[in-house]
Amino acid sequence: MQSQVSSGNGASLLNLQDPAGADKLVYEMHQYLDSDGSGTAEACVSSTIGQERLREATAWLKANGKKAILGETAGGANAQCIAALTGMLGYMASNTDVWTGWLWWGGGPWWGTYMYSM
């Protein structure tokens, strides 16, 4: 998510329009907590990485009067990732003027043994 906002895509995303003209557009973003943000490893970078990775997107949303939902997030079922997730959700709860909610990425038919099953 950070790279999308910081790489210049924020300007093009800002031009999205609600086709009904009601300004009810909600941006759907993804943020995983592993080293490259891809969601392919169960190890999290740190216990604070969740809120750290949301800061730039949160600032962009606030500066532009936009709202978002975190449509995919996950981290491994370990103490560091649970702390990172707890911090991230607390950060989002402190910024409900721009964050409308979040969804956990699950494993579908692999749920019981999937690395992100909590």
Instruction: Say what the pLDDT of residue 109 is.
Output: 74
What is the spatial order of strands in the sheet that 99-104 belongs to? Answer: 26-32, 67-74, 99-104
Global pTM value:
0.84
DSSP sequence for 87-118: HHHHHHHTTTTTEEEEEE---GGGTTT-TT--
Instruction: Say what the pLDDT of residue 47 is.
Output: 97
Instruction: Say what the pLDDT of residue 4 is.
Output: 52
**Beta-sheet strands, E only, within 17-115:** 26-32, 67-74, 99-104
Q: How far apart are the first and last CA of the chain?
A: 23
Per-residue pLDDT of the chain (118 residues; tens, 9 = 90+): 544 565 556 677 788 888 887 778 999 999 999 999 998 999 999 999 999 999 999 999 999 999 999 999 999 989 999 999 999 999 999 999 999 999 988 767 777 777 877 6
Instruction: Say what the pLDDT of residue 2 is.
Output: 44
Q: How far apart are CA 118 and CA 106, in angstroms?
A: 9
